[in-house]
Chains A and B, each alone.
Chain A
Amino acid sequence: MKIKPSIAISDNGFLFDPGSGESYTTNAVAKEIIFMMKQNLSVEEIKKTLVEKYDVDEVTLEKNLIDFFAMLRHYNLCEACNP
């Protein structure tokens, strides 16, 4: 699962897709995930980082990540979209 290289995300979580002209706002955790994706971290590495940093169990995290990746696919923001 990789975010499209052309996608720009600012430090405050504003995301711009220059291909479609669409822009999105992300919350703090989504921004963090996208930054990790841009650094080419694998899904497993992203999960590990989030579990260590936040008070969340793996099942809840897994469920939320699946939803989040589905949203990225829906908005056509990722390459190799299947995790």
Chain B
Amino acid sequence: MSRQNIHIAVTGLNNTDNPGPGVPLIRGIRESADLNVRIIGLAYENLEPGIYMPEITDKSYLIPYPSSGTKVFLNRIMEIHEQERIDLIIPNFDAELYTFIKSEKLLAQQGVRTFLPTLEQLEERSKALLPAFGKKYGFKVPDSREIVNTQDIANLEDDFDYPVLVKGKFYDAYFAYNEEQVTSHFNKIVSKWGLPVIVQEYIKGTEVNVVALGDGTGRTVGAVSMRKQYITDKGKAWGGITIDDPRMMEITRDLIGKTKWRGGMELEMIRTSSSEYYLIEINPRIPAWVYLAVGAGQNLPEAMVKLAMGLDVPSMEKYQTGKMFIRYSWDMLGDISQFEKITMNGEL
């Protein structure tokens, strides 16, 4: 296969203690033996570590938050496209997916490809609609309820036993052991992520996760399962290990087969002591721990790029179990001139 020169724009370069998937995704793409790429970093903040890290992006640009309006957002993407001839955009934040999916056709008309789930797929797996999703496709999910004001909290005791999980529509999840704690978490989440807030039944067990890629026809191109070994106070994996759990793979293939999922996804599950599996979240994008899958033998970022570019990608069935990742912090040195460039010119 000849090495193609593909210009790929990537978001999620916030390699912080709440890391975005951009940097590990780029690492995977750069390790491809088939692809020759130019990586264009798209950053929302001028201190996102990924734009300063060596050998990650070839060029980085600041972009406005999608909340500033679709027109403003797309105008900036088109400005960058004029300079960079973007072939493919890989968005990595839940909060920006809606805008990118809605703009898929418009981007395609300009020659910019994406490889994303449909709007229907995105919406039906949302945290608020997870019980209906479980019922429709036949997966066990915890009971959950959407709450939009503090009056709803008083009635929770009728249907839920404490503790419960209080979750933001995109990010954040907190345990609450009583009504007062639900209220406190509700207020904190609303101020950050807006409404609705989701209250979810707590299922006791071990949290296990799968990163997977669907090609949009119902085929699972690849999937790797992992158990978190070390979790930060933000609930993020700081260490993890690949595991061999046939039932998790079966659930993943079944879900992708039934939904015809297109793009990357992360399934978060709880495995109970009686070996029952509850789907607690379906994240509609590649997770930040995807480099573990690359190291274990499935380069899902590379496969995603190839699928987006219309190339054939055979299904990947196997991976190495017992492969671990451990995150670490490292003080990278920069210069004020770099900060000046990204701040004043919006590019680096």
Contacts and interface: CB of A to CB of B under 8 A. Distances in A.
Interface of A: 6, 8, 16, 18-22
Contacts of A22: 227
22 contacts: A6-B244, A8-B322, A16-B322, A18-B243, A18-B244, A18-B321, A18-B322, A19-B243, A19-B244, A19-B245, A20-B206, A20-B227, A20-B243, A20-B245, A21-B208, A21-B226, A21-B227, A21-B229, A21-B241, A21-B242, A21-B243, A22-B227
Interface string B221-238: 000001101000000000
Sorted nearest first, the 5 A-B pairs with minimum C-beta distance are: A21-B227, A18-B321, A21-B243, A18-B244, A21-B241
A19 B312 CA distance: 31
A12 B245 CA distance: 26
Contacts of A16: 322
Contacts, number: 22
Interface in B180-237: 206, 208, 226-227, 229
Interface string B256-284: 00000000000000000000000000000
Nearest to B324: A21
B57 to A, nearest CB: 33
A8 B241 CA distance: 15
Interface string B278-315: 00000000000000000000000000000000000000
Contacts of B322: 8, 16, 18
Nearest to B227: A21
Nearest to A22: B227
A15 B208 CA distance: 20
A25 B245 CA distance: 22
Contacts of B206: 20
In terms of DSSP, what is the predominant structure of the interface of chain A? loop
A21 B248 CA distance: 13
A70 B206 CA distance: 21
A8 B321 CA distance: 11
Nearest to A21: B227
Given A18-B243, A20-B227, A22-B227, 11 more contacts: A8-B322, A18-B321, A18-B322, A19-B244, A19-B245, A20-B245, A21-B208, A21-B226, A21-B241, A21-B242, A21-B243
B83 to A, nearest CB: 45
A20 to B, nearest CB: 6
Interface in B312-344: 321-322
Contacts of A19: 243-245
Contacts of B208: 21
A16 B244 CA distance: 12
B291 to A, nearest CB: 17
A16 B226 CA distance: 14
A44 to B, nearest CB: 31
B227 to A, nearest CB: 4
Contacts of A8: 322
A15 B241 CA distance: 14
B292 to A, nearest CB: 12
A18 B323 CA distance: 10
A41 B242 CA distance: 31
A79 to B, nearest CB: 14
A58 B3 CA distance: 69
Nearest to A6: B244
Contacts of B245: 19-20
Contacts of B321: 18
Contacts of B242: 21
Nearest to B229: A21
A21 B322 CA distance: 7
Nearest to B226: A21
Nearest to B273: A76
Nearest to B248: A19
